[in-house]
Amino acid sequence: MSLSEYLIEEIRTWDVVELPQRAFHGCRHDDIGIDILNLKMSGNKWCSIDAAYAGDYAWHHTRNHQAVPYILEVLMTEQLTGIHRPKHLNGEAWAPFLGKCFPQYSGYELSREFERSIVAHIKVALGNNINGYISYGGDEIIVTDTERYLVVESSLKLPMEKTEYLKIKGGVYA
């Protein structure tokens, strides 16, 4: 993991907001830090306020597509705050921004390095009282230390085939 002075300075200008109390996490049963049987999760995890958006991540290209897909409904154990990515960095502006932060990476590795290092960047930029990151009004949220701050309220087993999931997508957790 590398720290980017460029990202640290940028984070210092971002708003700090309250994270939503309820969110969803799309995953596969064998993902690192996921225990479906005991409804537990650990580590830093991507979540969303939109169950269907979160569910799409069960088919992310980095996932084991032989493992069973799930959407987990999670609740915060306390009110958390996070940095809010400004709108001018949304969409097509995001990858070039990450490229400036992490010039040694390219492609999807830019996003991976951001996920791996965001906690360290937040702590250097703003201290220890910030527990996450949010963008797109809640479509994308990173919660740190999920074993401490999230409780898995429920799990929904999804179809193995994404085409089948897409048929029911609008109705999950509706």
Mean pLDDT of 2-15: 95
Mean pLDDT of 129-140: 91
Place of tokens 């996450």: 132
Task: For 90-116, write each residue's pLDDT tens digit.
Answer: 889 999 999 999 999 998 889 889 988
Instruction: Grade residue 25 by pLDDT with cuts at 50, 70 and 90.
Output: very high
pLDDT of residue 75: 97
The total of other beta-carbon atoms located within 10 Å of residue 171's CB is: 9
Instruction: Grade residue 140 by pLDDT with cuts at 50, 70 and 90.
Output: very high
pTM to 2 decimals? 0.89
**94-101 and 108-126 are packed helices; what angle lies between their axes, rounded to 10 degrees?**
70
* 31's tokens: 């993902």
- Residue burial 46-68, b: 16+ Cβ < 10 Å; e: rest: bbbbbbbbbbbbbbeeebeeebe
* 157's tokens: 């087993």
